[in-house]
């Protein structure tokens, strides 16, 4: 999930602690700040600290002047062969191709298990918002293909898109069956996304503040780990007890999906509101949780859905067509 | 009948006046409204009191017109106020692709959608639901502000550290932007404490206390950057239609209405912060939604905050415009509320109609004159305005603010961090320890 969803979920977790609401009413914001901060902390540790110290065995730097997909495919196939031959995990970093202040050359990598090959294709030039620049999609895109020395087992998604800022890392781990397991962003959701690490931070919080702070920290951290488990990548839930790697996620959503993220944020806001209300000594107005959900979620969402239907029905009728895009995002009708 | 005509004329006059003023970069509507309020006070002292049916619609027109038309300097002249900072990058992209007119008009459509949202959705529901929300949240504003500050500081993305071998060099490269962001926030916060507890601005213009600092933090660095970089603006095309549809408008209203609503309702939270939170909450990527939702957010923030003063049974004052009105008149009845809603609707329509001709006029200006010269002229206007209102001391404060405002520009960190000037001192005060920090800083 997005950072803000985790953050507000942590705040919502704090709001379930009566002492947090009581302290806030008396002017002490500590518990809610801890809730938000530790709700987002696992990703902060990964993206702002750990990834800069994560060592790679191979850096693939495409030439921005003459980008060649075959060179990237060959380098990746070479890394798979190296992993199989040495019996050791090979960490590969793919760099992005920056073409200007706001322009990036997109390329897509696909490990095809059936054909036992890796394919690399150059797509359009995109801006930092990942929107394609008009007329930049090549009419006949160059594709690089390279045979793999052994089968590669995907643990995340079949296709990886590389475009803006920092490129992805693959961890190529050989197994006993002569295959190579492909781990996407092996530095992410590893040790940091663990209940045990959350409990450790809670212990530190207890020493600094109080057991109440520890409960808030632990709850906020755990909510982050649980939310991430709904996605594809999964987390290393009990590091350092489970040192092997990530448990697979439930595949219910992608981290960048708009609806689950907004749903989490809105639900968290309603829960915070409810928890504040039920801890009020003498509320001026009286309402039930059901009424809050009715007026705070059901009616607005229904109204939004209805308005969306009315505003877009003509467009839908005009644009209705079969989705024939393949996993590269291209039309299969061509 | 005469009252209705008076409301109509006052609204239109206020809207047209502020629409033209909104095209001047760096000039904030609250500065103009403050000057107007002083005129109204002076007239009242001489026994000439203007009826509320004239003053209130005039002020409503001022705020609506400015919120809608301020898009022009944001997108076409690149000297935004802080609430427009999120329109700067995508807006400037439109400008640099020769589609500045389209960018400005998409934002204006967002503004018009914001007017619909306020008048048709918020207007009828606010008297029933906002007093309930206020009764629950009243004692909790301070921690909400602290939580927002925490998120702003924790959510900035490192922009460096993408190349090279792992290690401290990579780490420090990444943390250059993050460190600059934190430094900006705390320096701006320190400046905020100084201005709040020991402002060198004379008491006669105390209502403009924060203006030179804001101009320094947000407007001056952008003008300087334009002047130094010598941007060449390509020839602009005026298109007949905009590449938008009902889906984009509705999603923009969702994201922008949420962001602007948060900013309007919670104290000290500005349109820029509301836009950031709403953008992250709704995970939007489409640039058109991004640009349009900022139009919605900006209008809902400024006009919504003003409108809250009039919501029967709510009793809260948010935003500079509402505070100035409160000094002149205390709204009491549903009649006042409906009058303001009508004024907002009329002003929204008038200002939207002015958007196209004023955008074309500005485009003609930047095509005729060098962009660097336009930025220089904008900077001179800003300097003159600060000097006229606050004198040499105001210029000094502006210079200090510019120094802080240049940090994020030079290091590529978020300009939003400059809002530490408001967020830090006010959050400390709301939690009850602002005085202790001021004592520790030897300010009191």
pLDDT tens-place string over residues A178-205: 899 888 888 898 899 999 999 999 999 9
> Is the distance from CB of B36 to CB of B322 less than 8 angstroms?
no
Question: How confident is residue A334, by pLDDT bands cut at 50, 70 and 90?
Answer: very low
pLDDT of residue A201: 97
Contacting residues of B for A127, CB less than 8 Å apart: 93, 287
Residue B179: the pLDDT is: 95
C-alpha span between B389 and B392 (Å, rounded)? 10
Examine the domain organization and report whether A64 and A120 are in the same domain.
Answer: yes
Q: Quote the CA–CA distance of A223 and A40 in Å, as a whole number.
A: 10
A331: in domain? no
Do A72 and A43 share a domain, yes or no? no
pLDDT averaged per 10 residues, chain B (length 444) = 90 94 81 84 86 92 94 72 49 78 91 95 94 93 94 89 86 93 96 91 74 89 78 79 84 88 89 81 75 90 94 88 86 92 96 94 84 83 87 93 92 90 93 92 90
Q: Residue A330 domain-assigned? A: no
Q: Listing from the earlier edge strand, what are the strands of the sheet with A180-184?
A: A58-60, A90-94, A169-174, A180-184, A152-154
User: Are B94 and B65 within 8 A, CB to CB?
Assistant: no
- Answer yes or no: is A28 within a domain: yes
Residues 30-69 of A with CB under 8 A from B: 32-33, 36-37, 40, 44, 47-49, 52-56
- A75 domain-assigned: yes
**Which residue in the block uniquely carries the two structure tokens 């977790």?**
A13
Domain count, chain A: 2
A117 Ramachandran zone, left/alpha/beta (phi>0; psi -120 to 50): beta
Residue B256 vs residues A124, A258, A261, B259, B324: alpha-carbon distances, Å? 29, 15, 16, 5, 26
Nearest-by-CA chain A residue for B153? A37
Quote the minimal CA–CA distance from A194 to chain B in Å.
20
Short-list B181, B231, B272, CA closest to B375: B231
A103 and A9 share one domain: no
C-alpha to C-alpha distance for A239 and A191, rounded to whole angstroms: 5
Domain for residue A147, yes or no? yes
Token digits for A108? 């897509």
Give me the DSSP letters along A140-165. S--EEEEE-SS-EEESS-SEEEE-SS
- Residue ranges of the domains in chain B? 2-440
- The answer, yes or no, to whether residue A314 has pLDDT greater than 80, is no
Which of B177, B186, B228 lies closest to B408, judged by CA? B177
**H helix or E strand, kind and range, residue B353:** helix B334-368
The first and second tokens of residue A118, run together, are: 């890796």
Same domain flag for A19 and A116: no
Task: Pick the closest to residue B194 from B393, B405, B406, B29 (CA basis).
Answer: B393
Tell me which DSSP letter residue B207 carries. Answer: G
- pTM greater than the 0.95 cutoff: no
In this structure, the answer to whether residues A78 and A176 fall within a common structural domain is yes
Q: What is the pLDDT of residue B58?
A: 95
DSSP, collapsed to helix, strand or coil, labels residue A124 as strand
Query: What pairs with residue A145 in β-bridges?
Result: A119
Contact between A294 and B310 (Cβ < 8 Å):
no
The domain boundary residue, chosen from A156, A184, A212: A184
Which has the closest alpha carbon to B61: B274, B281, B321? B321
Q: Are B71 and B104 in contact (CB under 8 A)?
A: yes
Which of A96, A131, A315 lies at the smallest CB-CB distance from B287?
Answer: A131
Domain of A126, in residue numbers: 58-184
For residue A200, being part of any structural domain is answered with yes
Confidence of residue A318 (pLDDT cuts 50, 70, 90): low
CA B120 vs CA A247, B117, B123, B294, B345: distances in Å: 49, 6, 6, 19, 9
Q: What sign for the dihedral angle of Cα A244, A248, A254, A255?
A: negative
- When CB atoms are compared, the residue of A52, A131, A258 closest to B161 is A52
Among A300, A317, A313, A299, CA closest to B246: A313
CA angle B319, B323, B329 (to 5 degrees): 140
pLDDT for B189 equals 96
Tokens found for residue B53: 């049916």
Q: Distance (Å) from the C-alpha of residue B291 to the closest C-alpha of chain A?
A: 12
- A27 neighbourhood in chain B, CB within 8 Å: 142, 431-432
CA-to-CA distance for A126 and A163, rounded, in angstroms? 7
Give residues 107 to 136 of A whose Cβ lies within 8 Å of B.
Answer: 127, 129-131
Question: Domain check: are A46 and A106 in the same one?
Answer: no
Judge whether B302 and B319 are in contact, CB under 8 Å.
Answer: yes
Work out the percent of chain A whose per-residue pLDDT is above 70: 93
Same domain, A48 and A68: no
Same-domain status, A150 and A258:
no
Could you tell me if A101 and A95 are in contact, meaning their C-beta atoms sit under 8 angstroms apart?
no
pLDDT (tens digit per residue) in A205-251: 999 999 999 999 999 999 999 999 998 888 889 988 887 778 888 88
Chain B touched by A242 (CB under 8 Å):
no
Beta-carbon neighbour count of residue A90 at 10 Å?
22
Asked if residue B438 lies in contact with residue B206, where contact means CB atoms within 8 angstroms, the answer is no
The DSSP element (H or E) to which A108 belongs, if any, is: strand A103-112
Question: How many C-beta neighbours within 10 Å does residue A191 have?
Answer: 17
What's the DSSP call for residue A132?
B
Please indicate, yes or no, whether residues A94 and A118 belong to a single structural domain of this protein. yes
Which residues are CB-neighbours of B356 under 8 A, at least 6 positions away? Answer: B105
Q: Are residues A70 and A176 in the same domain?
A: yes
8 Å CB contact of A308 and B174:
no
DSSP states along B165-232: SSSHHHHHHHHHHHHHHHHHHHHHHHHHHHHHHS--S-GGGGGGTTHHHHIIIIIHHHHHHHHHHTPP
The position carrying tokens 């660095």 is B221
Q: How many CB atoms lie within 10 A of CB B221?
A: 23
User: Do the beta carbons of residue B118 and residue B307 sit within 8 Å?
Assistant: yes
Would you call A40 and B285 a contact, using CB atoms and an 8 Å cutoff?
no
Q: What is the pLDDT of residue B87?
A: 41
Question: Which residues 194-223 of chain A have a CB within 8 Å of chain B?
Answer: none
Q: Which helix (H) or strand (E) element contains residue A324?
A: none
- Output the CA torsion sign for B322, B294, B314, B343: positive
A31 phi and psi angles, rounded to 5 deg = -65, -35
**A308: in domain:** no
Asked if B166's CB is within 8 angstroms of A54's CB, the reply is yes
């Amino acid at each position: 999930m997005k950072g803000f969803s985790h953050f507000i979920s942590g705040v919502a977790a704090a709001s379930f602690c009566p002492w947090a609401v009581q302290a806030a009413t008396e002017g002490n914001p500590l518990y809610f700040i801890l809730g938000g901060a530790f709700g987002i902390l696992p990703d902060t540790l990964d993206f702002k600290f750990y990834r800069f110290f994560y060592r790679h065995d191979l850096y693939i730097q495409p030439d921005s002047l003459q980008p060649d997909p075959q060179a990237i495919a060959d380098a990746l196939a070479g890394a798979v062969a190296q992993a199989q031959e040495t019996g050791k995990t090979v960490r590969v970093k793919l760099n992005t191709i920056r073409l200007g202040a706001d322009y990036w050359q997109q390329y897509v990598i696909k490990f095809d298990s059936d054909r036992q090959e890796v394919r690399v294709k150059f797509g359009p030039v995109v801006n930092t918002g990942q929107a394609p620049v008009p007329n930049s999609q090549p009419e006949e895109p160059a594709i690089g293909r390279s045979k793999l020395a052994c089968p590669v087992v995907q643990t995340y998604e079949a296709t990886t898109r590389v475009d803006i800022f920092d490129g992805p890392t693959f961890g190529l781990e050989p197994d006993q069956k002569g295959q190579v397991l492909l781990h996407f962003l092996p530095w992410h959701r590893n040790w940091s996304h663990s209940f045990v690490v959350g409990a450790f931070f809670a212990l530190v919080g207890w020493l600094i503040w109080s057991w109440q702070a520890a409960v808030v920290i632990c709850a906020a951290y755990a909510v982050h780990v649980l939310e991430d488990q709904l996605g594809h990548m999964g987390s290393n839930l009990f590091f350092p007890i489970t040192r092997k790697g990530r448990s697979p996620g439930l595949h219910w959503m992608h981290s960048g999906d708009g609806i689950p993220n907004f749903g989490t944020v809105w639900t968290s806001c309603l829960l915070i509101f409810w928890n504040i209300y039920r801890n009020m000594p003498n509320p001026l107005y009286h309402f039930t949780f059901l009424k809050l959900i009715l007026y705070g979620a059901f009616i607005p969402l229904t109204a939004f859905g209805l308005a969306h239907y009315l505003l877009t029905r003509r467009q839908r009728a005009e644009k209705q067509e079969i989705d024939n895009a393949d996993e590269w995002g291209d039309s299969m009708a061509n | 009948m005469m009252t209705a005509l008076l409301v109509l004329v006052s609204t239109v006059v206020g809207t047209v006046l502020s629409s033209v003023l909104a095209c001047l970069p760096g000039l904030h509507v609250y500065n103009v409204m403050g000057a107007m309020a002083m005129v109204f006070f002076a007239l009242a002292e001489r026994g000439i009191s203007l009826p509320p049916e004239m003053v209130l619609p005039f002020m409503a027109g001022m705020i609506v017109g400015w919120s809608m038309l301020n898009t022009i300097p944001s997108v076409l002249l690149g000297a935004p106020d802080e609430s427009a900072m999120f329109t700067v990058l995508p807006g400037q992209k439109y400008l640099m692709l020769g589609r500045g007119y389209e960018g400005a008009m998409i934002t204006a459509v967002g503004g018009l959608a914001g007017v619909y949202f306020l008048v048709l959705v918020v207007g009828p529901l606010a008297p029933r639901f906002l007093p309930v929300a206020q009764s629950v949240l009243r004692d909790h504003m301070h921690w909400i502000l602290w939580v927002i500050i925490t998120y702003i500081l924790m959510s900035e993305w490192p922009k460096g550290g993408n190349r090279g071998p792992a290690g401290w060099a990579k780490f420090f490269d990444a943390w250059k932007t993050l460190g600059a962001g934190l430094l900006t926030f705390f320096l701006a916060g320190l400046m905020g404490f100084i201005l709040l507890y020991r402002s060198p601005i004379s008491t006669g213009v105390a209502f403009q206390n924060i203006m030179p600092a804001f101009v320094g933090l947000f407007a001056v660095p952008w003008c300087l950057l334009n002047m130094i970089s010598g941007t060449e603006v390509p020839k602009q095309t005026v298109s007949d239609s905009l590449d938008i549809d009902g889906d984009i408008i509705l999603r923009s209203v969702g994201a922008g209405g949420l962001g602007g609503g948060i900013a309007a309702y919670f104290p000290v939270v500005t349109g820029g912060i509301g836009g950031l939170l709403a953008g992250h909450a709704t995970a939007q990527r489409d640039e058109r939604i991004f640009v349009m939702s900022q139009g919605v957010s900006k209008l809902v923030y400024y006009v919504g905050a003003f409108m809250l003063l009039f919501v029967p049974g709510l009793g809260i004052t948010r935003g500079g415009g509402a505070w100035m009105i409160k000094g002149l008149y205390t709204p009491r009845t549903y009649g006042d509320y409906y009058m303001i809603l009508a004024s907002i609707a009329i002003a929204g329509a008038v200002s939207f109609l002015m958007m196209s001709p004023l955008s074309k006029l500005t485009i003609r200006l930047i095509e005729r004159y060098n962009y660097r010269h336009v930025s220089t002229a904008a900077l001179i206007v800003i300097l003159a305005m600060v000097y006229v209102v606050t004198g040499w001391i105001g210029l000094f404060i502006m210079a200090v603010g510019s120094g802080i405002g240049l940090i994020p520009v030079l290091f590529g960190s978020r300009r939003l961090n400059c809002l530490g000037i408001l967020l830090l001192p006010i959050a400390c005060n709301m939690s009850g320890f602002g005085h202790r920090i001021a004592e520790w800083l030897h300010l009191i």
